[in-house]
């Protein structure tokens, strides 16, 4: 099963061309417009590419109790999983900040569990795009084998 998963992932990643990157970036910007961020005023949008080609948007959703806030990346991933999708190849992330923003630690942890080989597309408001990977941003994620039953 692992080889089948890796083959699907290779096929998906080969399809990550300029047009698809721009489509993901645009979807992330659109998702940002749905942000509920009345406290920080820091809007974030994400667009997650699923193995079937579907793009799932996500935005940050704040709460007065900040620890209950959900980031855009996790909103997109949880929405996809809730819809039965569990294989992801790319995620685009954007905000209104002039700099590229990267996922927070909680989002990196969630991404690493569901899509360790995902491509991460960072998008600035001026349209500049930077491609990176989970392993560049989170080089030593927890090893899930330690949770295996003994």
- Read off the pTM: 0.87
Active site residue 73: yes
Lookup: tokens for 66: 């900040």
- Cα within 13 Å of Cα(113), Cβ side: 11
Choice among 54, 62, 73, 113 that is catalytic: 73
Q: How does pLDDT run across 63-98, given as a tens digit for each residue?
A: 999 999 999 999 999 999 999 999 999 999 999 999
> Above pLDDT 90, what percent of the chain?
82
pLDDT band at 144 (very low <50, low <70, confident <90, very high): confident
pLDDT band at 146 (very low <50, low <70, confident <90, very high): confident
Find out whether 55 and 23 touch, Cβ atoms under 8 Å.
Answer: yes
pLDDT at 12: 45
pLDDT band at 150 (very low <50, low <70, confident <90, very high): low
Segments making up each domain of the chain, as ranges: 2-138
Flag whether pLDDT at 53 surpasses 70.
yes
Mean pLDDT, rounded, for 105-115: 95
How many whole angstroms separate alpha carbon 44 and alpha carbon 96? 7
Q: How far apart are the first and last CA of the chain?
A: 22
How many whole angstroms separate alpha carbon 66 and alpha carbon 39? 9
Find out whether 94 and 25 touch, Cβ atoms under 8 Å.
Answer: yes
pLDDT band at 119 (very low <50, low <70, confident <90, very high): very high
Flag whether pLDDT at 149 surpasses 70.
no
User: Among 3-17, 45-59, 135-149, which range has the highest average pLDDT?
Assistant: 45-59
Flag whether pLDDT at 10 surpasses 60.
no
According to DSSP, residue 50 is labeled E
Lookup: tokens for 42: 């820091």
Fold assignment, 2-138 = Cytidine Deaminase; domain 2 (3.40.140)
Find out whether 60 and 35 touch, Cβ atoms under 8 Å.
Answer: yes
Q: Could you please report the per-residue DSSP string of 99-127?
A: S-----HHHHHHHHHH-TT-EEEEE-TTS
């Amino acid at each position: 099963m692992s080889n089948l998963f890796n083959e699907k992932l290779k096929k998906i990643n080969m399809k990550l061309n300029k047009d698809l990157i721009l489509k993901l970036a645009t979807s992330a910007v659109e998702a940002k417009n749905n942000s509920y961020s009345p406290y920080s005023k820091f809007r974030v949008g994400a667009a997650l590419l699923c193995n079937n080609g579907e793009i799932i948007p996500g935005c940050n959703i704040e709460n007065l109790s900040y620890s209950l806030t959900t980031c855009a990346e996790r909103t997109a991933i949880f929405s996809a999983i809730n819809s039965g999708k569990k294989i992801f190849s790319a995620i685009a992330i954007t905000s209104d900040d002039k700099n590229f923003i990267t996922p927070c630690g909680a989002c990196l942890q969630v991404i690493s569990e569901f899509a360790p080989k995902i491509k991460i597309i960072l998008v600035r408001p001026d349209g500049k795009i930077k491609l990176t990977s989970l392993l560049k941003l989170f080089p030593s994620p927890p090893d899930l084998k330690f949770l295996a039953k003994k």
